[in-house]
Structure 1
């Protein structure tokens, strides 16, 4: 697939998966310019994490292209938008641009459609998710969870899970649904652990 130019929104801790939605509050001038430009063209923005939170930090290689669905212009010039995930992408190179926002040349990743887990893998995941939710004090509608297809469940939990940015990036970069599910279970076990002082473990 040929490389294409993508305007990017580098945001630590935020990942997007194809088929899922990510609400964003846009207030910085450069990202207001990014959204304004996207709305005037094809409504597409690339979500990607910087390796570090510092300005101008190198970017991780894998991100996700999203299309602006819902958009609300605010009185202060900002936007509330909902980004709809379309395709993961791999950066080829960052471009030298004059825009306020960064742009890259990237290739879209053709993920296999309608992936599914084995019955055992799905059951193992749900069991670990219950343990993790209980340990973290989360209230979860498990009846609704049971109705989700495997992709929506695993990618959805990966997107919202309270892991550090490196862990979330690893989930995004997983090659397929089975690999992502296995990593997610490992991360829930790790982050659900406590040390002798009962403090939650982190990977930071």
Structure 2
């Protein structure tokens, strides 16, 4: 763990958000406006600045009315992110940026705190996330050969299908880990597909899955939900 990495907490607030994926090294902008999540951000800013992003299995079940001990309503694996930027809005909410730090499994859900959900996170299976060093990660363009040509071709076809704008001369200079994380987060895949990308154990496995999902979309020619139509590195 680097000196800039905050200590891993025993208790973590979670933010169930449908169709939203956070990965280690990724940056996720969020507009926080609901009172319970304003409370969550305020508390996080005062204690480590970490929030866990999780996907609900069904959007309407993300905040169950029943026992909070039953966390089956959300996927059991999420990603903790550190608040690196926070601006208060005129309506009393926040605009925040979360930098993906480390994935976790939900070991146990705790009673509600000021309206938001909290868990005991288990980080033990994901400690390698803390070792990612983008400064020493090879650029995507350094992959070279037929493998890179195939991946780049699929990326371009998928972007054309979805109407996404990108500067390919810039993207090939990104660290491959950061590029794959950014594309996995911003592309309009389904919840199950995003969860599969989150749970990949190796970087190459995530790259292969991302390419496969894009190939399936291109071959099917199906439209996905609206997405941000620009790719930028934060």
1:200 is the counterpart of 2:222:
yes
1:179 is the counterpart of 2:192:
no
Aligned to 1:44: 50
Aligned to 2:229: none
TM-score, scaled relative to structure 2? 0.77
Deviation at 1:201, TM superposition (A): 6.2
Which whole-Å CA distance do the structure 1 matches of 2:195 and 2:19 have between them?
8
1:17 is the counterpart of 2:23:
yes
Q: Give the RMSD, CA atoms, in angstroms.
A: 2.1
1:110 is the counterpart of 2:136:
no
CA contact (8 A) 1:192 1:201 kept: no
Which whole-Å CA distance do the structure 2 matches of 1:187 and 1:168 have between them?
10
Aligned to 2:181: 155
Aligned to 2:217: 191
How do 1:84-103 residues align onto structure 2 when only pairs under 5 Å count?
84-103=99-118
Tell me the number of residue pairs that the alignment of Structure 1 and Structure 2 aligns: 197
**Is there any run of 5+ residues in structure 1 with no aligned partner, and where?**
none
Aligned to 1:131: 157
Deviation at 1:166, TM superposition (A): 1.3
Deviation at 1:94, TM superposition (A): 1.3
More deviation, 176-185/88-97: 88-97
Which whole-Å CA distance do the structure 2 matches of 1:105 and 1:52 have between them?
22
CA contact (8 A) 2:159 2:165 kept: yes
How do 1:51-90 residues align onto structure 2 when only pairs under 5 Å count?
51-54=57-60, 55-56=63-64, 58-90=73-105
TM-score, scaled relative to structure 1? 0.88
1:31 is the counterpart of 2:37:
yes
Within the candidate set 4, 10, 15, 1:4 is matched to 10
**Is there any run of 5+ residues in structure 2 with no aligned partner, and where?**
1-7, 65-71, 225-234
